[in-house]
Amino acid sequence: MTTSTPSSLKHKCTISERSFEISPAEVHFYQTLGLPLPTLCPAERHKRRISFRNFTSLYKRKCDATGQNIISMYHQDQKFPVYQKDFWWTDQWSAEDYGLDYNCEESFLKQYARLASQVPRSSLMAIQCEDCDYVNMANSSARCHLVFGCVGNEDCIGGHIVWNSKDCFENLYLYRCELCSNSIDLYCCYDLHWCQDCINCQCSMFLFNCQNCSDCFGCSGLQNAHYCFFNEQLTKEAYSARLAEYYPSDTVRLAQLLRAQSMQIDNTSRDEIITGTRNESVSGRHIFDSGYVNNSSDIKRSRDMVHCQTVQDGQDCIDLSFSGGPIKFCNECLTVSNCERVHYSHLLSNCSDSFYSEFCHSSSFLFGCNGLKNKSYCILNRQYSADEYEAVKKKIVESMIRNGEWGEFFPAEMSPFTYQESIASEYYPLKNKSSGEDKVSFEVRQALPFDETAGIYTCQLSGERYRVTKQEKIFYERKQFPIPAIAPLLRHKDRMAKRRNLQL
């Protein structure tokens, strides 16, 4: 992104009424692509996008194609049909059959909403996965269970945004890790447990904000350290002796160690926390191998990105969330992969030159389409010639400008999920929690199959029952860790709260 205007523009968010700036580089980006300037501040734009994402609220329902019982992110009460995920990818149905003719007398978004209420959706999103029946938003993974945002993993259980990892249990935001558990924001780590914000560390527990460390316990803010115990340097022999006093730990000692770690975090300035490595001119947190990235988080191998979250291999994009590349010149999108010039869209892969579309794959020149595969020059799932497409598109944009719809992501009211079902409630929790939250967590566990090889435990906080799988038991026994005393959803919420407290 290059600069074409001398100074930033100031706007007032139409939702929060907070003032926000649009930088010269952003203005140039919008002008180059022929897009209007945003009317919402970056936080409200992010919240609106992720209100369309449901990771963990899973339901029992029937597949509307086969009638079989399935697990779905969509409740049975949704208007649109829901197909079992493997059936959705077959050629036994066609999204083109639901196409609508554009009506210039009606709001375009209302017409798209009508289309979206008729086109079948996949019960869960899991592409090129093996033995991953209970994951969502997953790609290229094998033998994973209850991992949401599961990309390139093997043998992982319990997690949120776990990428390219193996044999990891109960984590939040992991990248290229192995044998790690109960941790938050680890990058290229091995055999770490109850750690947070660590880079290239191994064989350690209860670390915070450490880099290139190994065989350390209870340490904070260290780099290139070995055999340190609560930041005290020891010999290898002394470290082993001290470790034996704390490990293995029971649940009481574990709680004490977590409280001590929490105090370390509270006493650490945000400015002291490592934000990433091998970067050039970036602002944000958890950014690696990137350049000219502004106000973004969880960015890998990307360049010229603004207001983006959890993106890999992106270039020249604004307001992108949960996306993997290569991605170029995209704006206001949720989960796009291998895309160029895609705007205001959700869940597109291998697509280009498209607007206001969802669940489309290997397609180009789409406007307001849903569920299409291998198509070009379509509007509301109706096929056009190239010339017809451009002519109708022009009319639609003019109408959307008059109606105040153009240049905005889908309104939150069009999300099929309640706020509490969506992950927006985890990243932006409501001040007054709704009573529906407990109902959602109960339905998640009710949706899981009974497994005689798994033990059933009672949560010490909520009194609810939860299962620990055989694979988890083996892991905890091998590591001599206590079986978790708190239900999985509450553990996840605790990790999310710890992470939120450190966000910009």
5-62 per-position pLDDT tens digit: 457 799 999 999 999 999 999 999 999 999 999 999 999 999 999 999 999 889 999 9
> Distance between CA atoms of 218 and 264, rounded to whole angstroms?
9
User: Which whole number is the average pLDDT over 317-339?
Assistant: 96
Phi, psi of 436 (to 5 degrees): -70, -15
Average pLDDT, the chain: 91
What would the two tokens of residue 317 be?
């994009």
Per-residue b or e along 251-284, where b marks 16 or more CB atoms closer than 10 Å to that residue's CB: eeebeebeeebeebbeebeeeebbbbeebeebeb
Residue 265's pLDDT is 85
> Distance between CA atoms of 25 and 341, rounded to whole angstroms?
17
**Structural contact between residues 355 and 410, judged by C-beta atoms closer than 8 angstroms:** no
**Structural contact between residues 228 and 240, judged by C-beta atoms closer than 8 angstroms:** no
Confidence of residue 395 (pLDDT cuts 50, 70, 90): very high
261 Cβ partners below 8 Å, 6+ apart?
194, 196, 206, 208, 218
**Structural contact between residues 308 and 293, judged by C-beta atoms closer than 8 angstroms:** yes
Confidence of residue 215 (pLDDT cuts 50, 70, 90): very high
Residue 1's pLDDT is 61
Confidence of residue 502 (pLDDT cuts 50, 70, 90): low
Residue 450's pLDDT is 35
What would the two tokens of residue 502 be?
């450190």
Burial of 329 (0-12, 13-18, 19+ CB in 10 A): buried
Confidence of residue 454 (pLDDT cuts 50, 70, 90): low
What is the bridge-based pairing of β-strands 291-300 and 303-306?
A: parallel
Residue 432's pLDDT is 60
Please list the residues that pair with 484 across neighbouring strands.
Answer: none
Q: Which of 182, 201, 181, 179 is nearest to 191 (CA)?
A: 179
User: Which whole number is the average pLDDT over 360-372?
Assistant: 98
Confidence of residue 374 (pLDDT cuts 50, 70, 90): very high
Phi, psi of 80 (to 5 degrees): -80, 155
Per-residue pLDDT reduced to its tens digit, 402-443:
999 999 999 999 999 999 999 999 999 987 644 333 333 323
The H-or-E segment that residue 43 falls in is: helix 42-50
Residue 448's pLDDT is 34
Neighbours of 143 (CB within 10 A): 15
**Can you tell me which residue has the tokens 């710890």?**
498
> Distance between CA atoms of 427 and 245, rounded to whole angstroms?
38
Q: Is the dihedral of CA 388, 390, 394, 397 positive or negative?
A: positive
Residue 81's pLDDT is 98
SS3 annotation, 147-209: EEEEECCECCEEEEEEECCECCEEEEEEECCECCECCEEEECCEEEECCEEEECCEEEECCEE
Report the range of poorest mean pLDDT among 53-67, 261-275, 327-341: 261-275
The H-or-E segment that residue 254 falls in is: helix 251-266
Task: Give 241 or 267, the one with higher predicted confidence.
Answer: 241
